[in-house]
Amino acid sequence: MASPSSSSSASQSIFPEELKLFHTIDRTIFSRLVLNLQREPLESMHVMALLLWVERYVACGENLVFTIQTWPDTFVDALAIESSNA
């Protein structure tokens, strides 16, 4: 017997455009880290992974990435430095 989640996911499909729109904020912050702040792409991926993890699994992290996108580059850079030292 199939689980309800597997049967419902089989009937739904996500188009690439929808996936890109869903992750627009994440991509924006990553681009700022790499392009504006000249940080290494691999390090920036790790920073983003930490932010997304905190947003998902820590109760106070709700809308964290959305909030961070409004910060000036100096704050984002400081956050990346702290994330890298963790």
Domain limits, the chain: 15-85
Structure tokens at 75: 């704050």
Distance CA 21, CA 24 (A): 5
Residue 63 pLDDT: 85
Let me know: does 63 contact 55? Beta carbons within 8 Å. yes
Note the pTM of the prediction, 2 decimals: 0.74
Sign, Cα dihedral of 47, 52, 56, 59: positive
Residue 10 pLDDT: 54
Residue 42 pLDDT: 96
pLDDT by residue for the chain (86 residues), tens digit each? 444 554 455 568 888 888 777 788 899 999 999 999 999 999 999 999 999 999 888 877 778 888 999 999 999 999 999 998 86
Residue 73 pLDDT: 96
